[in-house]
Amino acid sequence: MSTSVNWTRKAATDEITIYLGIPILVIGVLGRILNIIIFMSLKTFRQNSCAFFLTIMSFVNIGQLLLSLFSRIVIIGFNVDWTDSSLTFCKFRYYCLQVCALTSYTCMCLATIDQFLATSLHVYWQQFINIKKAYGLCVFFFIIWLLHGIPSLIWYNLGLSSIKGKLTCTITNPVFNVYIAYGYLLILTGVLPICITVLFGFLAYWNVRQIPYRTVPLVRRELDKQLTSMVLVQIVFNCFIILPYIICLFLVDILDPNSESINISDLNFAQDISIILYYLYFASSFYIYICVSKRFRQQLMYVLIDIYH
């Protein structure tokens, strides 16, 4: 009976990965390309540090979708795992997806902090991050994450799996395995970015509510309100998308797989579903901006019709 249930769950996971993963991949890459076109075409955005962070985030999110989600669809949905047959791809995939994910989260955090500073009551903080500093911050953190991923190039190797009975791409260092489970997945790509974005997002929201009572140039005021609303709604959306993934990941790590009171296969199934939904973080921002900001919709039409027509 349990074998039949497990087979059904695997079949369901395969179907969900294919029929939900492929649309997320397609609309995600398309949306991110449109984000890049808009942010790079309009001078208003090119000179704005928050928009710069969102542009860089769009580039690395395309990389994450193509490297991580696409390969997951092929591996889970079509049972073709290149990481099991190529040591180079085994190391390269995990290295690149770590760099892309951490760079993306960093840009999201920086964009939120930037909007908090840009909407501050004090002129000094409003001018604290400019486009030059934004370049420097992105280069600095990108180098940090490139160096951070080096252990993945060392300790991801092909090893014989006792479950599959064949060579699989796995971590061969137990200490690094613990770090990936708790330090990287749970903290760096989960709890930490959520805490930072929620905190500074709330503070930015508070600042924006004070804007009508301050003497601020109209263009600057409208841009700050636009970017802050775009970023804040994305933060709320991210929480709903990322939290289920973190919870499932945490439960899988801490619970005893041999415990009779816990159905680990159900938990693994829930984790597989949460992982697919988790990719909405990398795919959704363009559609959030379209829904939230009338000004962004007008800018999209202007770029597509007036500039590139």
Domain positions in the chain are 1-308
pLDDT in tens, the chain (309 residues): 456 666 677 788 888 899 999 999 999 999 999 999 999 999 889 989 999 999 999 999 999 999 999 999 998 888 888 888 888 999 999 999 999 999 999 999 999 999 999 888 777 777 788 899 999 999 999 999 999 999 999 999 988 766 666 788 889 999 999 999 899 998 999 999 999 999 999 998 888 777 655 544 544 567 777 888 899 999 999 999 999 988 888 887 776 555 555 566 777 788 889 999 999 999 999 999 999 999 999 999 999 888 776
Let me know the angle formed at the C-alpha of 154 by 150 and 159, rounded to the nearest 5 degrees.
140
Contact in structure between 300 and 290 (CB atoms under 8 Å): yes
What separation in angstroms does the CA of 192 have from each of 102, 146, 183, 189? 11, 19, 10, 7
pLDDT of residue 265: 73
Distance of CA 237 to the CA centre of its chain: 12
The whole-number pLDDT of residue 219 equals 47
**What's the pLDDT score for residue 218?**
44
Q: Distance between CA atoms of 37 and 179, rounded to whole angstroms?
A: 37
Residue 140's Cβ-side half-sphere holds a number of Cα atoms within 13 Å equal to 8
pLDDT at residue 53, as a whole number: 96
What is the reported pLDDT for 307?
77
Find the DSSP H helices in 75-191.
78, 87-118, 123-126, 131-148, 150-155, 174-178
Query: Which one of 1.20.1070.10, 3.30.530.20, 1.10.569.10, 1.10.1240.10 gives the CATH number of domain 1-308?
Result: 1.20.1070.10
Is residue 140 within 8 Å of residue 148, measured between CB atoms? no
CB atoms within 10 A of CB 287: 16
Residue 276's pLDDT is what? 92
